[in-house]
Structure 1
Amino acid sequence: MMSLIVIAAIVISIALGYKTKINIGLFAIAFSYLIGCFVMGLSPSDVIKMWPLKMFFIIFSVCLFYSFAIVNGTLEKLAEHLLYSCRKFPHLLPYAVFLTSALIAGLGAGYYTVLAFMAPLTLMLCERTRMSLILGAMAVNYGALGGANFVSSQSGIIFRSLMTNSGIAENTAFINSFAIFLSTFVIPLLVISGFVLFTGHKKLMQSSTYTISQPSALNKQQKTTLLLTIVMMALVLVAPIAQIVLPDHPTVAFINSKMDIGLIASVFAVIALLLKLGDERKAMATVPWATLVMICGVGMLIAIAIKVGTIDLLASWIGTSIPPVMVPVAFGVVAALMSLFASTLGVVTPALFPIVPPIAAALGIDPLVIFVCIVVGAQATSISPFSSGGSLLLGSCPTEQSRSEFFPKLLLRAAPLGFAVALIFNIVLTLVY
């Protein structure tokens, strides 16, 4: 009975958030308090302790540092240069949009930030170069998703934190997160290649006469910001990779035990302030507070679900009702359906990741496969106009008429295509791995 109450609270939170446009995390916090204190008999301090403090600190610190590259225009200027480099090969523009979005997101801008300034530019390029709207939307959306999934960027950090909170070891979570990044980076490239090679898209774009003007060079402040970002990414990546390569080396083990991406990002944020790479208030304002509240709020409600045994109950049901070989694929399908209306970072992964370790242990499946299938499935349908990615793309349309024409293309063509490709990938991964 208690598990049904918690599941109902999660569903109602998502429904209310979608209907009212109020942050889902706020509804989740309210339900955590009501269920925790008045149904389960917990104290208010016990409920407050369920706020995922470590995850909050890591996301805040990393986003604060990366926000300097947004505030001083480093990422925007870098995007302009990357797109300009493709001017002589117009049929390669979809790849340029994808790789630019992925690189900017991978450098720390995060999915939503990249879409905010790359989506309007991409839709303008579609209009002027005769590039397919569907292709342009998929290139920018899945590029931003794949880049943000990099192990030192926003989504990758969230995935790692969710895994470790679910009982996965740090090094294993790093490997799993890297597998997610590779999968979500390769799949869109295959889809884009299919568009370019087999739909006559190449010939259509080569007939375009649109030219991209040369952008100005990066200034000293932007060059310093880019260098600092690369150095921080290197520091974050070298230690865990060295630990995987040299697991028994005492010095490597000691250094890796002292590395924390949140604390490292905090130090680099101070360095950025001392070097005057951006205004502190603007950098603080750029931190994705709404996403933080949504992820941590839902995290509190998931913690309630774990405490009452809901996660174990769901794991037991899935383990006995679905053939073991189809479990990862089933997770991907559920994640895709959830992502049609809800955020991958804020709802889908916080709800599904905690179920993975007990199911994987019971069925003898590598958790990596299930984690990858969940994210691949969820992000495949994130381009739906009802989800966050699709709504941002719709919001980038210059006119109401273009928005109304774009809506069915996202819903009836882009989202089903993304789902079909993700389903095929998950089936192949499950059978081969």
Structure 2
Amino acid sequence: MGADIISIIFFIVAIVLAFIRKINIGIVALALAVPCTMLIGLPGKEIIAGVNGNLFITLVGITLLFSIVNDTGALGLLAYKIVAVAGRRLWLIPILLFVAGGIITGAGPGGIPVLAIMIPMGIAVGIRVGYNPVMLSLIGICGMTGGRFSPITPETAIIFSALENTGISSASAVPAIIVNVTLFNAVVAILLFIAFKGYKVKAPEQMESDEEGTKSFTTKQWISFGGIIAMLALIIFAKVNVGLAALIVSAVLLLCHIADDGKCIKSVPWGTILMVLGVGALLHIVAKTGGIALLTQILAGMMSPSTASTFMALSAGLLSFVSSALGVVYPTMMPMSVGIAQQIGGVNPVALMSAVAAGGSCSGISPMSTGGAMIIAIMAVELKDKFTKEQQNKVFVQLLVIAGANLLVLMICAFLFFDIIANILCPL
């Protein structure tokens, strides 16, 4: 058995063990990387070389900065203000939630932290005005997913890493991915609105004023927003690394006591960072032994230029049901997209990366994933005794069915327009 196959087996075992035992896959991946390298004759320093220092700085910097901003309550208040604009024009609320999800996520924190804002807001607003709270939460998540791939999010840091030394410009690739993913999620949001019959909901005769949305931003909140602008200025004009720019701004904000440093440091998703870096280290071994090239060759052999994006979307979507998008799907399949496109010929790798980007988020609304589980948990808190066991089971099944339907819609969208948009915005 070749070293490439052995390394792939170790990688699959890491995913299966972490899924079955429900523990951080990064820890499992790092642990299995040791016997893997010993078995195939690679030195242990290759594991350390596989820990991406640049990605670590980016993830820590971005998440710390937005832990500080979130600690001031600025992001949550901004989201409520966006929704409060709708007033009695209920048809605007789903649109504003979609836009708010994209804007807040795209400002830098990435998808995972924004779930804690969009889901509670969607449920609270839905209960108050008469919309199905599950529908509003899912529409907010759809908007959030499009925003995950702005140039300063942790998700896009993985895309930049995948594009290194490929000759593909990230300046044109990232916008193409954003447009594809956002359009797909807009289609899903519209279908959700129709499926839940949101068009039949009328504004109540008497609507209470949204107290949260009428509050004014505090000085600390304005300063925290200024920190985001300062970070962007450092990145754009001073050409500072994204993570380092975020760390510089974070340090200044903490020195000014804008937020509590201990609380913000604890809020950094260290488990997610360990997951991404640990899986990356094992993937480095897989790539070093030719495992990634082998997987690329196998997938390419099953595709044609017309079905490549659809098949890639299916593969990423299915993988996302058993593993983390940020920790496994994106680091594994983004680099493979370039190789697969080259082997098939006539396929834009950015279209395949768009399929991976959208597919990796497909399972997020499943009740067995963070988004879906959070919807059920927060509905139980908001509705209390009214949210009976029967209703919980109904929502569980709803979310499971929607997650599956989401993947089907993605495959259709990938076939219809992913290649077209990629060729327009990022031609070969």
* TM-score of the two chains, using structure 1 as the length reference: 0.87
Contact 2:177–2:351 (Cα < 8 Å) also in 1? no
Contact 1:385–1:411 (Cα < 8 Å) also in 2? yes
Q: In the alignment, which residue of structure 1 is the partner of 2:232?
A: 233
Contact 1:91–1:196 (Cα < 8 Å) also in 2? no
Q: In the alignment, which residue of structure 1 is the partner of 2:398?
A: 409
Aligned ranges 1:246-261 → 2 under 5 Å: 258-261=239-242
Task: Find the aligned partners of 1:5 and 1:126 in 2 and give their Cα distance.
Answer: 50
Task: Find the aligned partners of 1:192 and 1:208 in 2 and give their Cα distance.
Answer: 27
- Letter of the structure 2 residue corresponding to residue 67 of structure 1: S
Task: Find the aligned partners of 1:106 and 1:199 in 2 and give their Cα distance.
Answer: 27
Residue 55 (structure 1) shift? 0.8
Residue 18 (structure 1) shift? 2.2
Alignment partner of 1:222 is 2:211: no
Q: In the alignment, which residue of structure 2 is the partner of 1:125?
A: 125
Q: In the alignment, which residue of structure 1 is the partner of 2:115?
A: 115
Residue 119 (structure 1) shift? 1.4
Q: In the alignment, which residue of structure 1 is the partner of 2:384?
A: none
Residue 361 (structure 1) shift? 2.3
Pick closer, same or farther for the CA change 1:321–1:189 going to 2, 3 Å. closer
Aligned ranges 1:137-152 → 2 under 5 Å: 137-152=137-152
Q: In the alignment, which residue of structure 1 is the partner of 2:189?
A: 192
Contact 1:130–1:208 (Cα < 8 Å) also in 2? no
Aligned ranges 1:55-74 → 2 under 5 Å: 55-74=55-74
Q: Which moved more, 1:301-310 or 1:312-321?
A: 312-321
Residue 196 (structure 1) shift? 4.4
* TM-score of the two chains, using structure 2 as the length reference: 0.88
Pick closer, same or farther for the CA change 1:390–1:168 going to 2, 3 Å. farther
Alignment partner of 1:105 is 2:105: yes
Instruction: Report the RMSD for the aligned CA atoms in angstroms.
Output: 2.3
Pick closer, same or farther for the CA change 1:117–1:200 going to 2, 3 Å. closer
Unaligned runs of 5+ in 1: 240-254
Task: Find the aligned partners of 2:119 and 2:128 in 1 and give their Cα distance.
Answer: 14
Deviation digits for residues 59-89 of structure 1, max 9, x if unmatched?
A: 1112222221011111111122112112221
Q: In the alignment, which residue of structure 2 is the partner of 1:168?
A: 166
Task: Find the aligned partners of 2:357 and 2:4 in 1 and give their Cα distance.
Answer: 25
Task: Find the aligned partners of 2:377 and 2:159 in 1 and give their Cα distance.
Answer: 27
Alignment partner of 1:33 is 2:2: no
Q: In the alignment, which residue of structure 1 is the partner of 2:294?
A: 313
Task: Find the aligned partners of 2:307 and 2:15 in 1 and give their Cα distance.
Answer: 27
- Letter of the structure 1 residue corresponding to residue 137 of structure 2: A
Unaligned runs of 5+ in 2: 381-386, 424-428
- Letter of the structure 2 residue corresponding to residue 389 of structure 1: G
Q: In the alignment, which residue of structure 2 is the partner of 1:252?
A: none
Q: In the alignment, which residue of structure 1 is the partner of 2:357?
A: 375
- Letter of the structure 1 residue corresponding to residue 5 of structure 2: L
Contact 1:342–1:388 (Cα < 8 Å) also in 2? no
Contact 1:333–1:423 (Cα < 8 Å) also in 2? yes
Task: Find the aligned partners of 2:394 and 2:62 in 1 and give their Cα distance.
Answer: 38
Pick closer, same or farther for the CA change 1:41–1:283 going to 2, 3 Å. same
Aligned ranges 1:198-213 → 2 under 5 Å: 200-207=197-204, 209-213=206-210
Residue 306 of structure 2 aligns to a residue in which SS? Answer: helix
Task: Find the aligned partners of 1:152 and 1:321 in 2 and give their Cα distance.
Answer: 34
Q: Which moved more, 1:283-292 or 1:182-191?
A: 182-191
Q: In the alignment, which residue of structure 2 is the partner of 1:248?
A: none
Q: Percent of aligned positions with the same letter in both sequences?
A: 24
Deviation digits for residues 321-353 of structure 1, max 9, x if unmatched?
A: 322332222111100111122211111111112
Match 1:391 to one of 365, 369, 373: 373
Residue 396 of structure 1 aligns to a residue in which SS? Answer: helix
Q: In the alignment, which residue of structure 1 is the partner of 2:159?
A: 159
Q: In the alignment, which residue of structure 2 is the partner of 1:420?
A: 408
Task: Find the aligned partners of 1:194 and 1:333 in 2 and give their Cα distance.
Answer: 20
Give the length in aligned residue pairs: 410
Task: Find the aligned partners of 1:430 and 1:145 in 2 and give their Cα distance.
Answer: 16
- Letter of the structure 2 residue corresponding to residue 404 of structure 1: N
Pick closer, same or farther for the CA change 1:322–1:198 going to 2, 3 Å. closer
- Letter of the structure 2 residue corresponding to residue 145 of structure 1: T
Deviation digits for residues 239-277 of structure 1, max 9, x if unmatched?
A: 6xxxxxxxxxxxxxxx6xx43112222221222123322
Q: In the alignment, which residue of structure 1 is the partner of 2:178?
A: 181
Aligned ranges 1:299-310 → 2 under 5 Å: 299-310=280-291
- Letter of the structure 2 residue corresponding to residue 19 of structure 1: I
Q: Which moved more, 1:182-191 or 1:344-353?
A: 182-191
Pick closer, same or farther for the CA change 1:292–1:163 going to 2, 3 Å. farther
Contact 1:324–1:363 (Cα < 8 Å) also in 2? yes
Q: In the alignment, which residue of structure 2 is the partner of 1:327?
A: 308
Residue 149 (structure 1) shift? 2.0
